[in-house]
Amino acid sequence: MADKLCLITGGAGFIGSHAAEAMLARGWRVRVLDDLSTGSAANLASAAGAELVRGDVRDLMKVRAAARGASCVLHLAAKTSVPGSVSNPIEYHDVDATGTLTALEAARIEGVRRFVMSSTCAVYGDGGPQPAGESAPAAPVSPYAAAKLAAETYCLSFGRSRMLEPVVLRYFNVYGPRQRPDLPYAAAVPAFIKAFMEGRRPVIFGSGLQTRDFVYAGDVALANACAAEAPAPPPGPYNIASGRECTVLNLLEAVAAAFGVPAEFDRAPQRPGDLERSSADARLAERSLGFRASTGLAEGISKTVEWFRRRPGLTGRP
Ligand code: NAD
């Protein structure tokens, strides 16, 4: 594996930077293509040796140049906010669907065989069977999920016409070090941590009884490595999840416990596009890719809180 090159689009982002570390640790050379719109070069501080190319994933010539010589693409570049996509559906389609098609085409032209795409559990929508298995019908609620489903469809079509070997991964709710707490629609874990660090009560949207499967970023990075290295995996899609269903209130309690403070919070109305229930059957990835998430919620939250405590600019005490 020593001389194999992997291109990671969106590799300067939260999950992409964990994927970069995982691939380097397994002996791959890593090149990152990222427009740094939500990611940053600083995220790659622990990925020594990763090459960073600044560019837009919708720019075919730029992605082709970045993919040249690679034997694998991990495609993570995307706009990722559900509420953001409700306000800006065309931009989300452009980056998440057309951007994926552009990355696929670049990989095909440059002769890259393996193409691992980051999709989302949001494609299942609300009201389907729980826990969701991969055969559950897709019923996207948000434009973000619709764009990701379109991207998945392009990946699978490139596989069926033997243009390359796609592997589609549907992540559930990922959390961990380097997830941004400062974006308008920050995910629950960094938003809760930031609130506790600033001595505020975190906000829960809706009842707090909505459920999610929270999976640690290091585990998702490992899922990408397994998908990159599996000898001839079926294209999926594969749920990438912990297999544990957790309410947002339980999550808040876990974060509060890591700070040793009471789990007090304020309420706000449910946000458009948010799902009531989301739980995963994660067994297919184990059977076909040899991947299983191994980080428990308390362990993952504790590692994440520890990272935030060390982070410059967020040094307040709970
Ligand atoms: P992130 O915003 O940290 O990462 C996305 C990266 O893509 C950023 O570094 C950003 O700068 C880059 N990017 C955005 N638009 C780009 C463009 N046009 N050209 C090049 N680079 C661009 O978010 P993340 O949470 O790390 O998400 C990574 C992937 O995982 C995304 O595809 C997302 O849809 C998927 N995903 C994330 C979660 C989650 O819980 N965080 C869940 C399901 C799926």
Q: Can you state the angle between helices 297-310 and 248-259, rounded to 10 degrees?
A: 50
For residues 289 and 230, is the Cβ–Cβ distance under 8 A? yes
pLDDT of residue 313: 61
**How many angstroms separate the CA atoms of 157 and 30, rounded?**
27
Measured in angstroms, how far is the CA atom of residue 280 from the centroid of ligand 1? Answer: 21
Q: Can you state the angle between helices 99-109 and 60-67, rounded to 10 degrees?
A: 50
Please compute the mean of the pLDDT values over residues 272-295 and round it to a whole number: 92
**How many angstroms separate the CA atoms of 181 and 28, rounded?**
30
For residue range 211-253, list pLDDT tens digits in order.
Answer: 999 999 999 999 999 999 999 999 999 999 999 999 999 999 9
Mean pLDDT computed over every residue of the chain: 94
Atom of ligand 1 nearest to the CA of 178: 3
pLDDT of residue 167: 99
Query: Can you give the length of the chain in residues?
Result: 318
For residue 96, what are the β-bridge partners? none
pLDDT band at 276; cut points 50, 70, 90:
confident
Please compute the mean of the pLDDT values over residues 156-165 and round it to a whole number: 97
For residues 217 and 294, is the Cβ–Cβ distance under 8 A? no
**Which pair of tokens denotes residue 104?**
């696929």
Please compute the mean of the pLDDT values over residues 296-305 and round it to a whole number: 97
Give the whole-number percent of the chain exceeding pLDDT 70: 97
Active site residues: 144
For residue 76, what are the β-bridge partners? none
pLDDT of residue 127: 84
Q: Ligand 1, from 17, 32, 37: best to mutate by most atoms within 8 Å of Cβ?
A: 37
Q: Is 155 exposed, middle or buried (0-12, 13-18, 19+ CB in 10 A)?
A: buried
Tell me if the pTM is above 0.75: yes
Could you tell me where the DSSP H helices lie in 165-276?
188-197, 217-229, 248-259
pLDDT band at 275; cut points 50, 70, 90:
confident
Give the whole-number percent of the chain exceeding pLDDT 90: 89
Measured in angstroms, how far is the CA atom of residue 312 from the centroid of ligand 1? Answer: 23
pLDDT of residue 7: 99
**Which pair of tokens denotes residue 15?**
């999950």
CA 48 from chain center: how many Å?
A: 21
Measured in angstroms, how far is the CA atom of residue 99 from the centroid of ligand 1? Answer: 12
For residues 9 and 77, is the Cβ–Cβ distance under 8 A? yes
DSSP characters for 257-280?
Answer: HHHTS----EEEPPPTT--S---B
CA 52 from chain center: how many Å?
A: 19
Locate tokens 């057309």: which residue? 98
Give residue ranges with CB within 6 A of ligand 1. Answer: 10, 12-16, 34-39, 56-58, 76-80, 95, 99, 118, 120, 171, 173-174
pLDDT of residue 315: 38
**How many angstroms separate the CA atoms of 168 and 227, rounded?**
9
Atom of ligand 1 nearest to the CA of 148: 34
For residue range 220-231, list pLDDT tens digits in order.
Answer: 999 999 999 999
For residues 123 and 135, is the Cβ–Cβ distance under 8 A? no
Conformation bin of residue 199: beta by default, left when phi > 0, alpha when psi is -120 to 50: left
**How many angstroms separate the CA atoms of 116 and 132, rounded?**
21
Please compute the mean of the pLDDT values over residues 283-303 and round it to a whole number: 98
pLDDT at 317 > cutoff 60:
no
- Which one, of 161, 260, 178, 250, lies nearest residue 220 by Cα? 178
The CA-based angle 128-277-123, given to 5 degrees, is 55
Nearest residue by C-alpha to atom 15 in ligand 1: 78
pLDDT at 192 > cutoff 80:
yes
For residue range 91-134, list pLDDT tens digits in order.
Answer: 999 999 999 999 999 999 999 999 999 999 999 998 899 999 99
